[in-house]
Amino acid sequence: MTPQKVKAAGFDIDGTRIDTGPPHREAERATVRAFGFDDLAADHPVTFGKGVIPGAQLVAEHYGIDSTEGVLAEYLRQWKRIAEAGIDLLPGAESAVRTVAGSGILVALVTSGERGYADEFLRIPGLADVFVCSVTLEDVVKLKPDPEPHLRAAETTGVAPPACVVFEDSVSGFRAARLAGMYSVDVGEVALNAIGDDAHSLVYRPFHVLHLP
């Protein structure tokens, strides 16, 4: 990719803006208990970062539950309960978004979650005025690692992909960005061992000064 001046930035939610790992796992634990299981299995499938519908499918298949819709509905009910009790923003998350937006870069929310989930996130930190648009699972046919979500955000902001950068915390996010022709910024530790197409382009650490070209 040829470097260009950054004009738009896409931000993931889970693990990038808010610390959703622990509450996500707790919501899944409460979900399987609602279906009669004592706790999460030792070989519980990795669902974090895959989107709520694919995650519900994995859980339903793993535990032999015949209704993915039922698992999804219960998970969303448990998630709402936990979210209403409060979920913390990751250190530096709000300042990073505001720094990027304050530099004149258009900021988009790009998540594999539902529209209601994205809207709830925007209400929690009061950042609705910062994001110019949001792309959720209802807006696309394919989720990350397919590039469609990031390309849809670029289309909505009117910015060409090479002038976009995305902030992600997962290999699927890095791969989606690369396939979209965008640079990716790693938030977290996931990318430390990622190589090739699974790797990020840049690294961002909370409390560090954020510089974009």
Residue 206, pLDDT score: 39
What Rg value do the Cα atoms of the chain yield, rounded? 17
16-21 average pLDDT score:
70
Distances (CA, A) of 42 to 46, 48, 64, 75: 11, 16, 15, 19
**163 pLDDT more than 50:** yes
- Site of tokens 């998540």: 111
Helix (H) or strand (E) holding 207: none
Residues facing 65 on adjacent strands: none
CB 213 within 8 A of CB 163: no
Number of H helices and E strands in the chain, helices first, is 7, 6
d(CA 167, CA 67): 34
Residue 213, pLDDT score: 42
Residues facing 164 on adjacent strands: 8
CB 136 within 8 A of CB 111: yes
User: What 8-state DSSP symbol labels residue 89?
Assistant: B
Residue 49, pLDDT score: 65
Counting beta carbons within 10 angstroms of the beta carbon of residue 213, is it exposed (0 to 12), middle (13 to 18) or buried (19 or more)?
exposed
More reliable by pLDDT, 18 or 155:
155
pLDDT in tens, 81-115: 887 777 777 767 778 888 899 999 999 999 888 88
Residue 209, pLDDT score: 35
b/e sequence 44-61, b meaning 16+ C-beta within 10 Å? bbebebbbbbebbbbbbe
- Site of tokens 């005025």: 129
